[in-house]
């Protein structure tokens, strides 16, 4: 829930300080910058340490960040540069946490249980992103900004305390896995290079990373949905909220649907079908004229993209050697995430060239997303799916 609350917390703090919507929008950049800044290092360090320890330390860091923001807000001492610096620190800690979480899930689950674990984690994440911003806004309206920030800090304290509920047997399993991961005393640079070499050499992992990057690039067009709904379709604020909310519900549905599937290595075809469905739903947005149809398509885009995301993550965890999983996970996520800001700039620019009407942007992005899914399938996923020689 903490990440969902933080999704609105930082922009709201910046907006309260500057009154500038541009500055508030800019405040969402630290998450991407965090991955680009520390992604490679985070992966290498996570592979050297116990994932549970890394996650607990990162919860302490984020707890400290939001406590600092709350105290500064209460004292009236907040400054924009300080807020952005603390936001970057929190997002960098999130990179370490998310990477360690992927390793921890791999240590505790195998086969169908691996997909199920990722499914429930992503459903929780999607729920947090859907509910968190509204909850933070409500807390701010009722109790004030500094109290809402204290509430956000409390979520990381709860997360920290939850780690003590992990059984001793589970901790011993993870400790055994980590011992093998830490057997190498090579330099950090060598460790990073080793992870990059594996990513390049594994055709399956490379293709899955490419698929995720393509999806993120074309999904950037969905940032135009609120503008399209309000300015082009003429929908009111409540209708726009329902359209956007349908995407959140779709994300949860897609994550839960993944839990009903089998072992990750048997789901390569499902990944391709899901990303192609995402593209077709996105493209169809350019043809709609009603709130109901737009909401249904947004549900479909989010459900299919999250389903593919869960299966990609599970497959990567299943095939990458445990000693390299942190590095490969962080590098793959960094690559995929870097595609989003580029897609946002291009989508916004193209919409501007067409008089502010993003219909053609939706159609173009959707068609290209479906074509990219087909390309990845023909480029090697089809052969791998048929091979039946993958480790189970």
Q: Give the C-alpha distances (Å, rounded to integers) separating 26 from 38, 62, 87.
A: 19, 20, 11
Residue 195 lies in a domain: no
pLDDT of residue 306: 96
Residues 151 and 120 in one domain: yes
Residues 102 and 249 in one domain: no
Residues 149 and 223 in one domain: no
* pLDDT, tens digit, 9 for 90 and up, residues 97-127: 999 999 999 998 887 789 999 999 999 888 8
The dihedral built from the CA positions of residue 177, 183, 186 and 187, taken in this order, carries a sign that is positive
Question: Does position 350 have pLDDT exceeding 70, yes or no?
Answer: yes
Question: Does position 189 have pLDDT exceeding 50, yes or no?
Answer: yes
Cα 348 to its chain centre, rounded Å, is: 21
Residues 163 and 214 in one domain: no
Residues 371 and 334 in one domain: yes
Contact, 146 vs 134, CB < 8 A? no
Enter the tokens of residue 292.
């109901």
Residue 210 CA to residue 222 CA, distance in Å, equals: 20
pLDDT of residue 391: 46
Residue 36 lies in a domain: yes
Residues 263 and 369 in one domain: yes
Cα 383 to its chain centre, rounded Å, is: 28
Residue 82 lies in a domain: yes
Percent of the chain with pLDDT over 90: 46
pLDDT of residue 388: 45
Residues 179 and 294 in one domain: no
Domain boundary among 136, 156, 183: 183
Residues 83 and 9 in one domain: yes
Residue 352 lies in a domain: yes
Residues 374 and 299 in one domain: yes
Question: Does position 389 have pLDDT exceeding 50, yes or no?
Answer: no
* pLDDT, tens digit, 9 for 90 and up, residues 130-168: 777 677 777 777 788 778 888 888 889 998 998 887 755
68-97 b/e (C-beta count within 10 Å ≥ 16 → b): bbbebbeeeebeeeebbebbbbbbbbbbbb
Q: What is the mean pLDDT of residues 42-62?
A: 93
Residues 304 and 272 in one domain: yes
pLDDT of residue 15: 66
Domain that holds residue 377: 201-386
Nearest Cα to Cα of residue 150 among 264, 92, 73, 44: 73
Residue 260 lies in a domain: yes
Residues 144 and 8 in one domain: yes
Residues 229 and 337 in one domain: yes
Q: CATH number, domain at 28?
A: 1.20.1250.20
pLDDT of residue 125: 86
- The per-residue pLDDT of the chain, averaged, comes to 85
Contact, 115 vs 314, CB < 8 A? yes
Enter the tokens of residue 334.
């960094």
Residue 188 lies in a domain: no
* Count of domains observed in the chain: 2
Collapsing DSSP to helix, strand or coil, 184 comes out as: coil
């Amino acid at each position: 829930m903490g990440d969902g609350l933080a999704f609105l917390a930082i922009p709201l703090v910046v907006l309260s300080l500057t009154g500038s919507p541009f500055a508030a929008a800019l405040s969402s950049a630290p998450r991407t910058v965090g991955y680009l800044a520390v992604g490679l290092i985070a992966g290498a360090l996570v592979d050297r340490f116990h994932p549970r320890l890394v996650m607990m330390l990162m919860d302490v860091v984020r707890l400290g960040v939001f406590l600092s923001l709350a105290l500064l807000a209460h004292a009236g001492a907040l400054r924009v540069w300080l807020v952005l610096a603390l936001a970057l620190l929190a997002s960098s800690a999130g990179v370490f946490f998310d990477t360690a979480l992927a390793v921890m899930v791999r240590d505790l689950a195998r086969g169908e249980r691996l997909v199920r674990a990722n499914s429930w984690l992503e459903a929780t994440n999607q729920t947090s992103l859907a509910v968190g911003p509204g909850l933070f806004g409500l807390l701010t309206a009722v109790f004030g900004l500094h109290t809402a920030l204290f509430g956000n800090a409390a979520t990381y304290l709860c997360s920290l305390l939850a780690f003590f509920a992990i059984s001793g047997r589970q901790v011993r399993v993870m400790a055994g896995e980590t011992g093998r991961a830490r057997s190498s005393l090579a330099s950090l640079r060598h460790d990073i290079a080793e992870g990059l070499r594996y990513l390049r050499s594994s055709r399956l992992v490379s293709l899955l990373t490419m698929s995720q990057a393509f999806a993120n690039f074309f999904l950037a067009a969905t940032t135009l949905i609120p503008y399209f709904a309000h300015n082009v379709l003429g929908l009111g604020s409540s209708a726009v909220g329902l359209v956007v909310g349908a995407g959140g519900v779709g994300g949860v549905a897609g994550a839960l649907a993944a839990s009903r599937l089998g072992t990750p290595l048997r789901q390569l075809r499902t990944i391709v079908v899901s990303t192609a469905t995402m593209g077709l739903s996105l493209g169809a947005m350019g043809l709609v004229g009603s709130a109901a149809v737009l909401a249904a398509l947004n549900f479909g885009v989010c459900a299919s993209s999250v389903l593919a995301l869960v299966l990609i993550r599970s497959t990567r965890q299943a095939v990458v050697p445990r000693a390299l999983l942190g590095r490969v996970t962080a590098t793959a996520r960094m690559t995929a995430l870097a595609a989003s800001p580029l897609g946002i700039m291009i989508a916004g620019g193209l919409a501007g060239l067409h008089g502010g009407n993003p219909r053609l942007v939706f159609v173009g992005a959707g068609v290209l997303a479906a074509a990219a899914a087909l390309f990845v399938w023909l480029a090697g996923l089809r052969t791998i799916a048929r091979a039946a020689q993958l480790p189970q």
